[in-house]
């Protein structure tokens, strides 16, 4: 009997893992909703089996509901997070929490009905809610905590285990399922007086189930999928921060070094890459020049036409600058209406000519395509003549920019002033 029970549990785990992983793998063709529905519909069965259905194994008395179904579901939630992101995985977590509270609430109301017998000797009996209802509520709360805990733990131990997905999966499952077994046993003890052997037997069974599911997962990676697709190391923020699709787009731009409004490189990218570009150019003995470009009277544009129109002006000018870059040029939105153009292999004289062309191009473009005439002032500095660090180069270019502003705007100022 014990041997038969063992093989049946292994078969249940294999069927569960195979079906759920197939749904997860096919989510792009059949939709992620299929996976989530399959994950959710078994929660009632898990709770029912955990409260009344037990079998004997070599290491104690256990319930297949907790051992196979619940353990499998928690680990599937982790796999969904790994394969997708926190936004997707929060959907079944919150759905299960709300859905099970709703079940208990509705059944409590149903108990107040005066029922009639349609089939002789068959009357509805929902007294199970007295016992199972509270177990479902407690189990759902535990699942909510478990699901968040296993994701957080997975990210926290990423540095320790690196590319060893199997070990991360195993450790996360073992730690969180130990916590879950302790929490659920306390409720089971209170509701039905379950003996302590149920706790130890259930804990041992969940550890074996974690090993079993980890083995299935490693086998799956070995023969059916590429391990590299599953390697992630997200920021702690991603676990809790709710991202809309627009926010996810902005987040993608941010992590790829782009300003979300204009699409050019942002200030952080400038701080990170600018010094490297400058030092490599100086080390190779090449000319490198910085242009600091500022839109004249931009605040008045916002005041007269509104911030939305101001944003359109910024995007248009950034697009115009981007279209006129050489392969060696690096454009950054430094802040507000100010852009920095770092031009490798460009001598000071050529840089002054380039800055003048940009100034005239923007003025002509604005007259035709923008709501009103827009001009820019430009400060130019070259390395190593005006400094051998990014800070020194920017300081000189910025001073020349303000000189151009004080001289009437819509002009270029470098080692020599250009109208």
Q: Is residue 257 part of a domain?
A: no
CA–CA gap between residue 327 and residue 325 (Å, rounded):
7
Domains: count for the chain:
2
294 with 194, same domain?
A: no
Task: Say yes or no: 36 and 170 in one domain.
Answer: yes
The C-alpha atoms of residue 393 and residue 396 are separated, in whole angstroms, by 5
Last residue of a domain, one of 210, 243, 276: 243
| Domain identity same for 232 and 269 | no
Provide the token pair at 319.
């697009």
Quote the pLDDT of residue 243: 42
Sequential pLDDT tens for the chain (419 residues): 778 888 888 999 999 999 999 998 888 888 888 988 888 887 777 777 776 787 887 777 777 887 888 889 889 988 888 877 677 787 888 888 888 788 778 877 877 887 777 777 776 666 666 656 667 777 778 888 888 888 888 878 877 776 688 888 899 999 999 998 898 888 778 777 778 877 888 888 899 999 999 999 889 888 877 666 665 555 545 554 444 444 455 555 555 678 888 989 999 899 989 999 999 999 999 999 999 999 999 998 888 888 888 999 999 999 999 988 888 999 999 989 999 999 999 999 999 999 999 999 999 999 988 888 999 999 999 999 999 999 999 999 999 999 999 999 999 999 866 65
C-alpha 92: how far from its chain's center?
16
In a domain, 119, yes or no: no
Domain enclosing residue 328, as ranges: 262-418
106: in domain: yes
End of a domain among 214, 243, 272?
A: 243
CA distance linking residue 140 with residue 98, whole number of Å: 9
CA 399, CA 294: separation in Å to the nearest integer? 12
* Chain Cα centroid distance, residue 107: 37
Q: Do 25 and 154 share a structural domain? A: yes
Shared-domain flag, residues 201 and 332: no
Q: Which helix (H) or strand (E) holds 412?
A: strand 412-413
Contact in structure between 107 and 133 (CB atoms under 8 Å): yes
| Cβ-contact 317, 362 below 8 angstroms | yes
Q: Do residues 170 and 232 share a domain?
A: yes
Q: What six digits make up the tokens of 158?
A: 């990423």
Beta strands (DSSP E) in 232-373 are 288-295, 329-335, 338-344
Q: Is residue 398 part of a domain?
A: yes
Specify whether 89 is located in the same domain as 190: yes
- Edge to edge, the sheet with strand 376-383 lists 329-335, 338-344, 288-295, 376-383, 412-413, 417-418
Residue 55 belongs to some domain of the structure: yes
Do both 104 and 169 map to the same domain? yes
Q: Does a structural domain hold residue 117?
A: no
Q: What is the pLDDT of residue 235?
A: 53
Q: Which residues contact 262 (CB under 8 A, 6 or more apart)?
A: 314, 315, 318, 319, 333
Could you tell me the two tokens for 334? 């430094």
The verdict on residue 291 lying in a domain is yes
- Domain-located, residue 36: yes
| 386, two tokens | 């005006």
The CATH number linked to 364 is 3.30.70.270
CA 257 to the chain's CA centroid: 16
Q: Is residue 211 located within the same domain as residue 354?
A: no
Asked if 186 and 269 sit in the same domain, the reply is no
Residues 41 and 168 in one domain: yes
For the entire predicted model, the pTM comes to 0.54
Calculate helix-pair angle for 71-83, 32-41, nearest 10 degrees. Answer: 160
Per-residue pLDDT at 294: 96
Of 243, 270, 303, the last residue of a domain is 243
Residue 294 sits in the same domain as residue 157: no
């Amino acid at each position: 009997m014990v041997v038969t029970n063992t093989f049946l549990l292994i078969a249940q785990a294999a069927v569960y893992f195979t079906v759920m992983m197939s749904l997860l793998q096919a989510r792009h063709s059949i939709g992620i909703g299929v996976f989530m529905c399959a994950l959710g519909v078994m929660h009632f069965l898990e709770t029912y089996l955990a409260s009344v259905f037990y079998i004997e194994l070599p290491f104690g008395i256990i319930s297949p509901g907790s051992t196979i179904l619940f353990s499998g579901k928690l680990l599937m939630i982790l796999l969904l997070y790994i394969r997708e992101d926190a936004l997707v995985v929060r959907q079944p977590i919150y759905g299960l929490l709300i859905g099970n509270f709703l079940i208990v609430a509705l059944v409590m109301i149903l108990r107040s009905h005066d029922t009639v017998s349609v089939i002789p000797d068959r009357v509805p009996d929902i007294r199970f809610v007295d016992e199972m209802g509270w177990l479902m509520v407690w189990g759902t709360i535990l699942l909510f905590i478990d699901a968040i805990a296993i994701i957080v733990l997975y990210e926290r131990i990423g540095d320790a285990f690196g590319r060893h997905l199997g070990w991360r999966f195993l450790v996360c499952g073992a730690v969180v399922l130990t916590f879950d077994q302790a929490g659920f046993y306390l409720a089971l003890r209170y509701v039905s007086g379950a003996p302590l052997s149920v706790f130890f037997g259930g804990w041992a069974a969940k550890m074996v189930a974690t090993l079993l599911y980890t083995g299935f997962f490693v086998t799956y990676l070995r023969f059916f999928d590429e391990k590299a697709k599953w390697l992630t190391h997200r920021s702690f923020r991603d676990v809790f921060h709710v991202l809309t699709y627009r926010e996810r787009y902005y987040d993608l731009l941010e992590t790829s070094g782009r300003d979300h409004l204009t699409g050019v490189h942002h200030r952080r990218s400038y701080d990170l890459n600018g010094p490297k570009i400058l030092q490599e150019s100086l080390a190779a003995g090449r000319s490198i020049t910085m242009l600091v470009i500022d839109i004249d009277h931009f605040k008045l544009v916002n005041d007269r036409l509104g911030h939305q129109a101001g944003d359109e002006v910024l995007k248009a000018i950034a697009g115009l600058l981007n279209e006129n870059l050489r392969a060696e040029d690096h454009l950054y939105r430094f802040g507000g209406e100010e852009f920095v153009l770092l031009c490798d292999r460009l001598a000071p004289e050529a840089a002054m000519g380039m800055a003048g062309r940009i100034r005239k191009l923007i003025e002509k473009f604005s007259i035709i395509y923008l709501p009103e005439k827009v001009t820019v002032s430009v400060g130019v500095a070259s390395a190593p003549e005006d400094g051998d660090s990014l800070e020194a180069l920017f300081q000189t270019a910025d001073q020349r920019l303000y000189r151009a502003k004080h001289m009437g705007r819509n002009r270029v100022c470098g080692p020599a002033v250009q109208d």
